[in-house]
Chain A
């Protein structure tokens, strides 16, 4: 038996989860060609910073969330300078040995995955060593929304609004700002963009910071709902990856479409058949998508449009 409101709330819930889990990963992947396997741990960092700011510093929740986001963004900047671009090791190398120590990881998929996977292991164990196996947790605010014999967490409904807001904001940043223009130019043809005076290196750094900040925001938003343990990022990573695969190369549109598509499938199936079936449906969808639309939804749209233009010309 399907209850329409249940389905709607479940859809909004899944949509928000997919979009927020994927946004940071998609932006970094789409623009820099770097797959950040520590994405889940960036989310964990955001959640931890939020919880600590709220519990230990006594900040109000919204301020604590801001702290979580900023801390993660700054951490992202550090990671970009040290590991992804290698500019700090290279600066040291130039001083000490007179040569660069490492190549940047831009557009090196496999290499970036190994490097960030290592980073994720270090982050999980580092947090475990410094803060222990768990943290006391903040409660979920805003209470519940009751309808008939059912009720849903108000906070989770609000999250879907935030997810939409993130998408709109990302769209505006990438289409209406100078940074967005430079970023798109860098994606399209890095060498030409550089020749035209775009500081691509700086664009990359800014992109990574934005992506990290979004991961931090996701962690901050979900901190009151998930268990605070060092491994909490793991449960976000699968959804994020599936969303990026399904969404395809266009960052904002892809994430939005993937969120809607996967959220719908997940809501429908888990409502009818339960949580396990919902997750199986997500993964089956990903398999089918990789088989028939290897470039994801937006890649497919691109292809169709290109073919139309050729046909018209």
Chain B
């Protein structure tokens, strides 16, 4: 089958390759190269850049492991269209500059057919210009603030509107309308806090206090006092990283027992396993996946969890982003088989045809679908609650479509190529 690229980069590359070949007088088999994979026709190379050291190692390591699991499974079952998958997976060490270097290397030297890279929004934004310049097919799998409408980016993690949109309405019903927001003081936290305001407005609730906390801060005495002073019905917490995790231990030891909704705790850094109970008691996480979600595909014998720990017996946890890496590699496989080529433009078109997959997060026979217009996923979202012994159980679940880009912004990547990130301030008065 033909592997020739028709994208801008592919066109230039194959053009110059053909010229060179002609000049040198040695013509290879037509169409045998240029499809990426570096090592020829019968393999596919995937770039997996995930942090195994540095700040994000705790959350990045499971992403790396789950990617390897998906790739091993696919290879054992005959590969993608008969081609085995090879991996380019150096450790970016949570360093954005290293990410930029490795992304260039993955695209230009290793010629990866598709790239998975990065945990934080800052990393994504650091490498997105490179990805767009090279028209590289790219999967970003972390749950994030939302709004990226980019023809090359498939942001398959749930967005703030999906995560907060599952847990906030639930807590509003259970506990009342007054919300206090605490969030990490950077792009992700600020935008998530704006989403809390928008969702509060839509759910007849009110944000009565808001505090942004620097990532380096690990002492929460005054924050706890301020929450007690405001006396909200529940807290929305978008704290991020190891320093902020100290909040949960400290609020427990200070006797603050208000319910907390979150898009960041437990599902990514498994705080319910790492901290001593009852630090995480009464914490509600709005997530598309946690190791504990009770679906057939996830927890049955030989299910996702079993397969993961069989390959990695010492792994500490199987987190939300790991599942996103896992199912998106299968979505990529489906797209390549549908397109009949690894040509990136054609694979993108195939992904835009409405690929679905029976991911571990979805119960029964349900499948989650990749939305063609926005490159986001209509996830099956879960509200997971931890009790005083840190047992986690599902209290609510349903499919929540990603409506912000599709309905509010009107992003349609099947019609128009874009490379923009939209924010809620552009569209909602409450967020301003």
Q: Mark B228-246, 1 if CB is under 8 A from A, else 0.
A: 1101000000000011011
Q: Is the CB of A137 within 8 A of B275?
A: yes
Q: Is the CB of B253 within 8 A of A225?
A: yes
Cβ of B277 < 8 Å from any Cβ of A? yes
Q: Is the CB of A238 within 8 A of B216?
A: yes
Cβ of B53 < 8 Å from any Cβ of A? yes
Q: Is the CB of B276 within 8 A of A138?
A: yes
Contacts A144-B253, A146-B255, A227-B243 given; indicate if A13 touches B229 (C-beta within 8 A): no
What is the bound-complex CA distance between A146 and B228, given in angstroms? 11
Cβ of B410 < 8 Å from any Cβ of A? no
Least CB separation from A5: chain B residue = B225
Cβ of B211 < 8 Å from any Cβ of A? yes
Stretch at the interface among B4-12, B55-63, B132-140, B417-425: B55-63
What is the bound-complex CA distance between A238 and B243, given in angstroms? 14
Chain B proximity of A307: nearest CB distance (Å): 39
What is the bound-complex CA distance between A154 and B53, given in angstroms? 35
Within 8 A of A (CB), among B124-145: none
On chain B, the residues within 8 Å of A278 by CB distance are 222
Contacts A132-B316, A138-B276, A151-B254 given; indicate if A275 touches B243 (C-beta within 8 A): no
Least CB separation from B215: chain A residue = A235
Q: Is the CB of B222 within 8 A of A270?
A: yes
Chain B proximity of A228: nearest CB distance (Å): 7
What is the bound-complex CA distance between A149 and B400, given in angstroms? 38
Contacts A139-B277, A140-B252, A232-B242 given; indicate if A149 touches B214 (C-beta within 8 A): no
Q: Is the CB of A140 within 8 A of B249?
A: yes
Cβ of B226 < 8 Å from any Cβ of A? yes
Chain B proximity of A5: nearest CB distance (Å): 9
Within 8 A of B (CB), among A1-34: 1, 3, 6, 9-10, 13-14, 17
Cβ of B302 < 8 Å from any Cβ of A? no
On chain A, the residues within 8 Å of B274 by CB distance are 134-137, 227-228
On chain B, the residues within 8 Å of A224 by CB distance are 249, 253, 276
On chain A, the residues within 8 Å of B254 by CB distance are 144, 151-153, 156
Cβ of A125 < 8 Å from any Cβ of B? yes
What is the bound-complex CA distance between A13 and B223, given in angstroms? 13
What is the bound-complex CA distance between A288 and B194, given in angstroms? 35
Interface extent on A, as a size class? Answer: 35 or more
Chain B proximity of A58: nearest CB distance (Å): 14
> Interface size (B, Cβ < 8 Å)?
43
On chain B, the residues within 8 Å of A136 by CB distance are 273-274, 276
On chain A, the residues within 8 Å of B185 by CB distance are 276
Cβ of A150 < 8 Å from any Cβ of B? yes
Q: Mark B264-291, 1 if CB is under 8 A from A, else 0.
A: 0000010001111101000000000000
On chain A, the residues within 8 Å of B14 by CB distance are none
What is the bound-complex CA distance between A143 and B55, given in angstroms? 31
Chain B proximity of A128: nearest CB distance (Å): 6
Contacts A140-B250, A226-B246 given; indicate if A274 touches B58 (C-beta within 8 A): no
Q: Is the CB of A271 within 8 A of B58?
A: no
Chain A proximity of B218: nearest CB distance (Å): 4
Least CB separation from B270: chain A residue = A134
Contacts A136-B274, A140-B253 given; indicate if A149 touches B218 (C-beta within 8 A): no
Cβ of A183 < 8 Å from any Cβ of B? no
Chain B proximity of A6: nearest CB distance (Å): 5
Chain B proximity of A13: nearest CB distance (Å): 5
Cβ of B219 < 8 Å from any Cβ of A? yes
* The residue from B221, B242, B245 contacting A152, defined by CB atoms under 8 A apart: B221
Least CB separation from B217: chain A residue = A275
Q: Is the CB of B253 within 8 A of A10?
A: no
Cβ of B357 < 8 Å from any Cβ of A? no
Least CB separation from A155: chain B residue = B253
On chain A, the residues within 8 Å of B61 by CB distance are 133
Contacts A13-B219, A136-B274, A137-B274 given; indicate if A276 touches B213 (C-beta within 8 A): yes
On chain B, the residues within 8 Å of A275 by CB distance are 211, 213-214, 217, 219-220, 222-223
Chain B proximity of A311: nearest CB distance (Å): 44
> Lowest 4 CB-CB distances: which A-B pairs, in order?
A139-B276, A144-B255, A140-B253, A270-B222
Seed contacts A144-B254, A228-B274, A231-B55; 7 additional CB < 8 Å A-B pairs = A1-B229, A14-B221, A134-B274, A140-B252, A150-B228, A225-B249, A235-B218
